[in-house]
Structures are given as structure tokens and as C-alpha cells.
Amino acid sequence: MEQPPTTYPPPAPRPSPLEREPNYGQFFVTMLLVALAFTAGWLGNNFANRDYPTPASARPWDKDIWTAWNLIDTQYVDPSAINHQKMTYAMISAMVNSLGDTGHSTFLTPDQAKAENQALNNQSFVGIGIYLTQIQTSSGSVILLEATIPNSPAAGAGLLPGDQFLTVNGTNVVNASLDQFSTLVRGPAGTTVTVTVKRVGVKNPLAFTIKRASITEQVVNGIYFAQDHIGYVQLLGFDAGAAKELGQELQTLQKEGATALIFDLRDNGGGLVNEAVGVASDFLQPGQTIVYEKDRSGTLTPLKVDSDSTVPKGLHLTLPMVVLVNGNTASASEIVTGAIQDNRPNVQTIGQRTFGTDTVLVTFQLPSGGELVLGIRQYLTPNKRQFRPGVGLTPSQVVALPANGFPQSPLVLSELHLTEADVLACKGVNPDPQLIAAIQALVPSRTSTCAGK
């Protein structure tokens, strides 16, 4: 995704924090921003500005650190290669990585911290507005367009799901990384970028010249399947305002006639915990436990439905529903999934085991402007199940996507003008057996003509 500019985050405390995960495999890369985006509870500057004595347990080792630092500083053959800022950042990152809290506890440079704050507040950024995935083919890795952001320059230019990027401004991007691709696509508002793509069913490559502009992501997307009165809604992240947007979309789908719901949390890496409370409250009843927080001493503190006044009161829907998850469903998405699984066992979760991210993150601001994002508590589902890395949550019905396939989200269906019948017939860029299984869970009489594909 394009890297958005942002302002430095305020030092005031935030609600209990959760993070948004970085790119894990086939992860929705939102608006070309290939950057870490973590939620954090902002602690006051008193933490950053005080001196910490070396703990007794660390004293056998701290001399090694500074001896190595001084040896590099005074003995390394190429003094011009010595960069104290890089050395400091690398040292902090290595310390955090040693904890094994993969994808959660982390060190953010000042620039990454600024990008994180903007992403979680869903502020506008400059770009062309595309969601990407990278797949492996017999000829190497290729970058595919999953969908465009509604009303974005890419949408207006005519890019479509499944388009394979060949060049950016004349540079070949076949076998390029997402970071390399992102760097080529970024640029100031009002400037243009030219991309060529290969489109299924079109013989020759297509070229699009797109003007970069300010874009705001639409984190909630929905579509109505009139054939069976099913509302299909996707939540891309638990950014500020996500619970409000979701509530409005759920009400819109019901007004259209929806009497059942498919709630898509695939490739949703998480976000703010207060938004997770608000989202879960739409599907649970007042007073039900959403998640437990467990501190270092083992004390459990429950977060309950409608317990956070910073988000709208829940809708408390009891409509038949299915939740879609996959290996990139993480953090806040796992909190909501676990809450629905434990409180509404009749609701099926379909897809693949979730990623597994269960630490409560708090951000400590460092004197240089960087941030140490540290897991200080653990989350447990209402039934006290863990969903730590390597464990995650197992859906009630395990269904895999085709190799190198991507979900047929509401955005994909809208852009390709596909109906529920088209989904069941496996039309589109690739079949989506997870979505098909969700439809069949709600309407068992529905059959798919390509269920075995």
C-alpha cells in the first residue's frame, strides 16, 4: 500500500490496544501500504523520559552489549558504514524478536509509528487505491489485483480483479516483491503512474495511466444476495469508526431484505480493541463476555458486550449467520470470532485456522520518536481458549481456497458484477469454496456446479 503521511501520535492513553498484522502470505495489502500497522495504548512521556537502572538479571550481559558497540565504533574497517541510529534500531528489534511474540511485540521506527497511527485512524493517504495479492506461477511470482477501493483512481481507470501487473512506468514487475512494486507506484498527489496488466480473456496487455489522489479506505463493504435474502458483509480492519460503519451496513442490508448474514473476516489483521467490542456487540447479547484479558499474575478481566462507551451500542442481532476466516484472520478478528464461537455455538465459522495473535499490546514511546510495542497481557476467548501463534482458532468447517486463489469479497463481486448464482457456479477470477460453503450453510438446498474444483 502507499505509505501515507501522518502526524505524530499524541501521548494520551488509548483504550485497551490491539494490533493490525503485517503481511503474512496472501494478505490483503491495503492501498499499497506495505508497512507495519499496529494498534497501541499510548503511555505518557514519563515512561520515555525516565532513566531505567539495569535489572540484576541483565547485569551479566549488559557489558557485552556496550563492549560490542565500542569495538564496532572504534575497530571496524570502514568507519563510514557505522550508523548509530541503525545500530540502535537493530539492537532494539533483535531484543523484541527474541521474545517469540511473532507479529505482535515489535519495534517501530518514527516513520513506521506515524504510518501506524494514520492507518488505525483511517485517515486519507495519497495513492491509486488497490488491494493486491502475490501468487506463485510456473514462471515465477506475479502480483494480482484483488480489488480496487471504491471511487479511487484505480477504480475509475478500469482496473479489474484478477489483473496481473506486468510493468509500472516501464519497469518489469514480474517477480518483483510487494515492497518493490509499492515503491514504484507511490508518488505525490496529482502525478501519474502508468501500469500495464494482463487480463484473462484479453489477448494483448492493457495499459492504464492513473493519476494519484487522496484516498480514504472503505473498511466495510457489503452486497445483498436477493436470491436467498442473504447479506454478505466484509470488514477489512478494526480501524477507528469500524463498529459504526459496520452497524450502518448491517442495517442497510436488513432494509434491503436480508434475513441471514455472512460476515467475512478473511485477511482482516485486526485493529483497535474498543472497535472489536463494538463489532462483537452487533452479534451478541448485552452482558455477554467478548474476551478475557489475563495479566502476568494470572488475573482475568472480562470485556463484555457494550462495555465500551467509545463505540455505538451493539445491534444484538440474532439472524442466522456464518463467519468466514482464514490464516490471515488475526488479533481483533480472532477476538470477535472467538466471542461468536463461544456465545453462539449454532453459528458456523468456515474457512481455515486463524493466524493466532493473543497478546494485548501497549506502545511505549522512546526518546528518539520510535516506539516499543510490547505485549503486556494475553487474550482468552469467553470459554478461556487460547489463540496464540501456531494455535489460532479452528473453524467449525474447514474449507480451503484453491492454490493461489483469493476470496470473492463483496468488492470483487461488485466490480465483476457477479451474483449469488455466479458464486455457486464458480464464475469470476477463481472459485471461492469458502463462500460457497457459507451460502450452503445458510441455505442447505443450494448446490454448486463446481464444488469439486
Q: Are 410 and 391 in contact (CB under 8 A)?
A: no
Q: What is the pLDDT of residue 28?
A: 33
pLDDT exceeds cutoff 90 at 317: yes
Confidence of residue 37 (pLDDT cuts 50, 70, 90): very low
Dihedral, CA of residue 33, residue 10, residue 38 and residue 301, to nearest 10: -160
Q: Can you tell me the distance from the alpha carbon of 46 to that of 25, in angstroms, rounded to the nearest whole number? A: 38
Residues 354-388 pLDDT 10s: 999 888 888 888 888 888 888 889 999 999 999 98
φ and ψ at 185, to 5 degrees?
A: -85, -30
Q: What is the pLDDT of residue 360?
A: 82
Q: Are 276 and 329 in contact (CB under 8 A)?
A: no
Average pLDDT over residues 393-397: 97
The one-character DSSP state at 41 is -
Q: Can you tell me the distance from the alpha carbon of 348 to that of 395, in angstroms, rounded to the nearest whole number? A: 8
Q: What is the pLDDT of residue 118?
A: 63
Q: What is the pLDDT of residue 363?
A: 83
Cell representation of residue 250 = 448491517
Q: What is the pLDDT of residue 36?
A: 25
Cell representation of residue 268 = 482482516
Q: Are 439 and 423 in contact (CB under 8 A)?
A: yes
Q: Can you tell me the distance from the alpha carbon of 239 to that of 32, in angstroms, rounded to the nearest whole number? A: 17
DSSP string, 120-166: HTT--EEE--EEEEEEEETTEEEEEEEEE-TTSHHHHHT--TTPEEE
Beta 300-304 vs 230-235: how paired, if at all? unpaired
Q: Where are the beta strands (DSSP E) in 205-353?
A: 206-211, 213-215, 220-225, 230-235, 260-264, 289-294, 300-304, 321-325, 348-351
pLDDT exceeds cutoff 90 at 313: yes
| Domains (range + CATH), the chain | 125-215 (2.30.42.10), 220-442 (3.90.226.10)
Q: Are 426 and 450 in contact (CB under 8 A)?
A: yes
Q: Which residues are CB-contacts of 247 (< 8 A; sequence separation ≥ 6)?
A: 278, 282, 312, 314, 315
Q: Can you tell me the distance from the alpha carbon of 350 to that of 310, in angstroms, rounded to the nearest whole number? A: 30
% of residues, the chain, pLDDT over 70: 86
Start-to-end CA distance of the chain, whole Å, equals 32
Q: What is the pLDDT of residue 63?
A: 85
Q: What is the pLDDT of residue 254?
A: 98
Cell representation of residue 229 = 435474502
Q: What is the pLDDT of residue 58?
A: 80
Residues 286-301 pLDDT 10s: 999 999 999 989 999 9
Asked whether the whole model's pTM tops 0.95, one would answer no
The mean pLDDT value of the chain amounts to 85
Q: Can you tell me the distance from the alpha carbon of 395 to that of 332, in angstroms, rounded to the nearest whole number? A: 16
φ and ψ at 134, to 5 degrees?
A: -115, 130
Q: What is the pLDDT of residue 66?
A: 86
Among 451, 411, 429, 331, which Cα is nearest to 135's?
429
- CA-based radius of gyration for the chain: 23
Among 299, 305, 303, 271, which Cα is nearest to 285's?
305
How deeply is 156 buried, as exposed, middle or buried, from its count of CB atoms within 10 A (0-12, 13-18, 19+)? Answer: middle
Q: Can you tell me the distance from the alpha carbon of 44 to that of 364, in angstroms, rounded to the nearest whole number? A: 8
Beta bridge partners of 322: 262, 348
pLDDT exceeds cutoff 70 at 27: no
Q: Are 277 and 290 in contact (CB under 8 A)?
A: yes
Phi-psi sector, 248: left (phi>0), alpha (psi -120 to 50), beta: alpha
Q: Are 297 and 323 in contact (CB under 8 A)?
A: no
Beta bridge partners of 231: 224, 261
Q: What is the number of other CB atoms lying within 10 angstroms of the CB of residue 144?
A: 21
Residues 221-268 pLDDT 10s: 999 999 999 999 999 999 999 999 999 999 999 999 999 999 999 999
Number of H helices, E strands in the chain: 12, 19
Q: What is the number of other CB atoms lying within 10 angstroms of the CB of residue 363?
A: 26
pLDDT exceeds cutoff 70 at 99: yes
pLDDT exceeds cutoff 90 at 203: yes
